[in-house]
Amino acid sequence: KRVTMANGLDAKRLRKHWEEIDKVNEEIKGIEILKGIECDILEDATLDLPDDVLKEADWVVAVLHYGLKQPREQITKRLLTAIQNPNVSAIGHPSGRLLLKRQGADVNYKEIFQAASDHGVMMEINAHPARLDLDDIHARAAKEKGILIVINTDAHTTDGFDMMQYGVFQARRAGLEKKDVANTRTFAQFRKLLRNSNA
């Protein structure tokens, strides 16, 4: 709800959105839309939506958008707290960098990757050309810890889906193979990877 530039959703609006997804899933056979949310990790390490709401989602990606200049210890604590939340399936654009515009947060990737490996949390390669976050070096390090990578477009409109290719290029630079990328799987296989999955 905090990310106002992306028309962030509070619990009430989010649940209304999910009701619409349920209707579409009932009415249109042969496709299934997951109920998901990109949820901000606030400066005090809490998530921007309460657990009772996140529990209703199929897919929660926790992200840093604010407070990126906090000390390494606090940034790492924020990410670790999100990883330990049983509703979170992935950490998105973990450094929060914007290439040529904003330096990424100072993250202790060794700690983050160990926790993600321990809790079965995926790490995102954000395919937007301004982000490409994880970078190739950290994507390779995540792979070496046995962490699945998910490549996301960061699309806010359908035009944004074209950005997937940049995420794939980043994954290739990192030496990732099909087996290392969660969203190369079938829908049924992918659903089983989600922490809130009922599959």
- The domain segmentation of the chain, as residue ranges, is 36-193
What's this model's pTM, rounded to 2 decimal places?
A: 0.92
Whether domain 36-193 has CATH 3.20.20.140: yes
Cβ-proximal residues to 144 (8 Å cutoff; 6+ apart), any chain: none
Full pLDDT tens readout for the chain, 199 residues: 555 445 578 889 999 999 999 999 999 999 999 999 999 999 999 999 999 999 999 999 999 999 999 999 999 999 999 999 999 999 999 999 999 999 999 999 999 999 999 999 999 999 999 999 999 999 999 999 999 999 999 988 999 999 999 999 999 999 999 999 999 999 999 999 997 765 4
Measured CA to CA, the distance from residue 165 to residue 77 in angstroms comes to 32
